[in-house]
Amino acid sequence: MLVHEQLGIYQARHPLPFKLNHVNCYAVKGQDGWYLVDSGLSNEAGRGSWQKFFAEHSIQSQDIRGIYLTHFHPDHYGASGWLQEQSGAPVYIGGIDAERVERYWKHGDWILQAMQEMFTANGMPLEVTLPVIEAMSRLLPFTRPHSEVQTLQPGDSVRLGDYSYKVILTPGHTDGHICYYNEEFQVLLSGDHLLPGISSNISLWPDPGADRNPLDNFLTALRSIEGLPCELVLPAHGRPFTTMAERIGQLLEHHRERLALVKESTGQGATAYQVCLQIFPQELSMHELRFAMAETLAHLMYLVYRGEMKLSQSGGVDMYSLV
Ligand SMILES: [Zn+2]
């Protein structure tokens, strides 16, 4: 589907085997070939969906000039190696997330162990943790074959099709998440930083190299682009939208409310798992439960950094309480 005529941007929507059942990648047509933004999962359905898109637009593998990723998550990085194998095109990602690709996907199993330890230390019972980690382990094959990535830095200019785009660092959803912004037509390829309808997952990662306060990064990154002139946002999930500033306002408000709820649920002492069950009372899949738990931890850590909450240990379990 053509989503921006002058810039030559097409949306390539691929299926995902989750409740969030699709990811939007974008393909930008230029005089010298095609430029892809994000790659979807490397599973049969994801690869098949690209093949269908290429056939519909008469794209040969050698027409692909470059693959630009917004962040390291499997539904964005996943099929980049498969696309690279066929086309020989360079794959680009922000510098911080390039390092995550290396450590999480290429030398992967330690992150599963670390996630299990973090959840256990935060009160999640083992009979819940094990299937959550098992569900996460099933994602690793969706990143193979691994692409070799080149890195982008904030402020870099890249050419997608016939126009240039600025690389904007928007950490939070991942530490190194980037958006691509075309100034001429005021179009933002927002990845998972700005989504309509749902709020981006903000997760604490059990990684000594990861930022300990991702929610603060996210809120700061939202505010940093609030004044950006923007006619159209092209998100990685959901439909394109034109109301960027309004959406940022809604997301800031959502997190203000969520933080108040986390404080209320924590009270004089609770584990992150207890808080998680209160703020996400609905039935969750194992995949969603990992997001919910890591997001609860991100909110708790934000409050700890603000001095509104304190963290202590009791019997080997982390307890949070209001200051
Ligand atoms: Zn993501």
Domain ranges of the chain: 2-264
- Cα atoms in the 13 Å half-sphere on the side-chain side of 124: 27
Neighbours of 66 (CB within 10 A): 20
Kindly state the tokens that stand for 221.
């990154």
- Give the distance (Å) from ligand 1 centre to CA of residue 207: 17
Burial class (CB in 10 A: 0-12, 13-18, 19+), 197: exposed
Percentage of the chain exceeding pLDDT 90: 97
Average pLDDT over every residue of 80-93? 98
Query: What separation in Å is there between the alpha carbon of 268 and the centre of ligand 1?
Result: 33
Angle between helices 214-225 and 244-266 (to 10 degrees): 160
pLDDT at 87: 98
Q: How many angstroms separate the alpha carbon of residue 105 from the centre of ligand 1?
A: 14
Residue 322 CA to ligand 1 centre (angstroms): 31
Query: pLDDT-derived band of residue 129, with 50, 70 and 90 as boundaries?
Result: very high
pLDDT at 176 over 80: yes
Mean pLDDT of 206-230: 97
Q: What is the pLDDT of residue 317?
A: 96
C-alpha span between 47 and 36 (Å, rounded): 14
CA of 277 to the centre of ligand 1 (A): 23
Question: pLDDT tens-digit profile of 21-50?
Answer: 999 999 999 999 999 999 999 999 999 999
Q: How far is the CA of 192 from the centre of ligand 1 (A)?
A: 5
Q: How far is ligand 1, taken at its centre, from the CA of residue 200, in Å?
A: 8
For residue 44, CA distances in Å to 14, 29, 38, 47, 285 come to: 11, 25, 17, 5, 22
Find how far residue 151's CA is from the centre of its chain: 17
CA of 272 to the centre of ligand 1 (A): 22
The mean pLDDT of 147-161, rounded to a whole number, is 98
Answer yes or no: are the C-beta atoms of 111 and 133 closer than 8 Å.
no
Is the pLDDT at 270 greater than 90? The verdict is: yes
> How many angstroms separate the alpha carbon of residue 201 from the centre of ligand 1?
7
Q: How far is the CA of 175 from the centre of ligand 1 (A)?
A: 11
Asked if pLDDT for residue 108 goes beyond 80, the answer is no
33-37 sheet: strands from edge to edge: 2-4, 9-15, 22-30, 33-37, 64-68, 91-94, 149-152
Dist. CA 214 → ligand 1 center (Å): 13
Tens of pLDDT, residues 281-307: 998 999 999 999 999 999 999 999 999
In the reported structure, the alpha carbon of residue 75 is separated from the centroid of ligand 1 by a whole-number distance in angstroms of: 7
Distance 213 CA to ligand 1 centre (A): 17
Over its C-alpha atoms, the chain yields an Rg (Å, rounded) of: 20
- What's residue 107's pLDDT? 85
Q: How far is the CA of 302 from the centre of ligand 1 (A)?
A: 20
Task: Say whether pLDDT at 109 is over 90.
Answer: no
pLDDT of residue 246: 97
Distance 321 CA to ligand 1 centre (A): 30
C-alpha of residue 177 to centroid of ligand 1, in Å? 9
Reported confidence tier of residue 124, pLDDT bands at 50, 70, 90: very high
Query: How many angstroms separate the alpha carbon of residue 79 from the centre of ligand 1?
Result: 14
Q: How far is the CA of 188 from the centre of ligand 1 (A)?
A: 16
Query: Regarding beta strands 163-169 and 178-182, do their DSSP bridges make them parallel or antiparallel, or are they unpaired?
Result: antiparallel
CA of 193 to the centre of ligand 1 (A): 8
Q: Alpha-carbon distance 319 to 311, whole Å? A: 6
For the chain, what is the mean pLDDT?
A: 97
CATH of segment(s) 2-264 = 3.60.15.10
Rounded to the nearest whole angstrom, what is the distance from the C-alpha of residue 5 to the centroid of ligand 1? 27
Give residue 73 CA to ligand 1 midpoint distance, Å: 5
Q: Are 170 and 221 in contact (CB under 8 A)?
A: yes
Contact between 275 and 320 under an 8 Å Cβ cutoff? The reply is yes
